[in-house]
Amino acid sequence: MNTRIYLSSPHMGGTERAYVTEAFDTNWIAPLGPNVQGFEEQLEAYLGEEKHVASLSSGTAALHLALILLGVGAGDEVICQSFTFSASANPIVYQGATPIFVDSEWDTWNMSPDYLEEAIMDRIAKGKKPKAIIAVHLYGMPYKVEEINAIAKKYDIPIVEDSAEALGSTYKGRSCGTFGDLSILSFNGNKIITTSGGGAIVTNSLEMKEKAVFLSTQARDDAPHYQHSSIGYNYRMSNVCAGIGRGQMEVLDDHIALRRKNNAFYAEIFENTNGISVLKEGSSDYFSNHWLSCILVDPKKSSTTAKAIRLTLATDNIESRPLWKPMHLQPVFKEAPYYGAKVSEELFKNGLCLPSGSNLSDEERTRITTILSQFN
Ligand SMILES: *Cc1c(COP(=O)(O)O)cnc(C)c1O
């Protein structure tokens, strides 16, 4: 059996180990220390826009804290893109709130501005104004930032920008991760850079960052003993993990270039294939890190299916995966209201994520080409 080709696996740049060793040598093995601060400074410099970053134990923790900081509580409603990973929506339920799911549009596969507005108007008519909007840049593709922001502004609802998959992507030259009232990043093992497990919350003010750090370190009041006036969480990133992050930041732009090269590689394979398209930016306003490269098979034009491609890749031990199953179709969210048509459902039915790691070798690309050329 050939060695396995993964969808997206960790890719170290080389200096990560030195930062981790330094953490050991100086005995900073805690959820604070020079790597935590150094990593946050790198992220702030990278994102620009005078943002403040608090590094946390995961992207999910960052989403949870974002909802807490926005005051989401029991009985509230929060709008969320349906076509996403469950981690975008679960923190709504952690807070005792109800998710209201919204469909995607075909250009970016992300939240449809039209259905977003329909959902907001209908929820208000039913008596409850949504407390927040969670919009996601899936697979690294920026959502329709201007349209979504305009609607959020019109109804005065804050945006939580889930940029877990989109570090390094930009919209009109501005970084994803800077468009929300609060934004989040993930450094899970499969993401464009990893701290083995980690995330961050991006805020507009130092005060908000400090609140996030406070809540993420058990909400200790300023007293010599342990005193608590609010409920805290153990969500801070460790100095060991942040050391990996510091090294990864040094190679982030290289990783983006390599993932974009993968996308161009798949675009070329399917260039003349009727009924199979690769997700690409719709205009020069959009710049995707192409975290994952995805295809869509049009059942009306193609003689094959996403499933057939997936199973054929598997015969050579090559991993591929259906696109995210929409949240409104998940058993756990079956009672949640949904606004939209069938866009996310069709994406799920006919789409496929292909191996997209920044560490994909030429030899692996040759194996992938051999399989995929059977379908074009
Ligand atoms: C990975 C991911 C998350 C969660 O991040 P973790 O660091 O794994 O907790 C949230 N949203 C999206 C869209 C993701 O892909």
DSSP 8-class letter at 331: G
Kindly write down the DSSP assignment for every residue of 185-197, as one continuous string: EE--TTSSS-SSS
Q: Decide: 136 in ligand 1 pocket, CB within 6 A.
A: yes
Of the residues 63, 85, 92, 141, which should be mutated to test ligand 1's pocket, given the most ligand atoms within 8 Å of the CB? Answer: 85
Q: Does 185 have pLDDT greater than 90? A: yes
CA 114 – ligand 1 centroid, Å: 25
- In ligand 1, which atom is closest to the CA atom of 191? 1
Q: Does 139 have pLDDT greater than 90? A: yes
Return the pLDDT at 31: 85
The reported pTM is 0.97
- 47 close to 161: Cβ distance less than 8 angstroms: no
Q: What is the arithmetic mean of pLDDT over 318-344?
A: 98
Ligand 1, atom 5, residue with closest C-alpha = 59
Of residues 350, 321, 294, 329, the one with CA closest to residue 138: 294
Q: What is the pairing mode between strands 159-162 and 132-136?
A: parallel
What would the pLDDT profile of 91-135 be if each residue is shown by its tens digit? 999 999 999 999 999 999 999 999 999 999 999 999 999 999 999
How confident is residue 376, by pLDDT bands cut at 50, 70 and 90? confident
Q: What is the arithmetic mean of pLDDT over 299-325?
A: 97
How confident is residue 1, by pLDDT bands cut at 50, 70 and 90? confident
The mean predicted confidence, pLDDT, of the chain is 97
Q: What is the arithmetic mean of pLDDT over 214-222?
A: 96
SS3 labels along 86-151: HHHHHHHHHCCCEEEEECECCCCCCECHHHHHHHHHHHHHCCCCCCEEEEECHHHCCCCHHHHHHH
- Count of CB atoms situated within 10 Å of the CB of 335: 7
How confident is residue 30, by pLDDT bands cut at 50, 70 and 90? confident
Q: Decide: 56 in ligand 1 pocket, CB within 6 A.
A: no
What would the pLDDT profile of 261-291 be if each residue is shown by its tens digit? 999 999 999 999 999 999 999 999 999 999 9
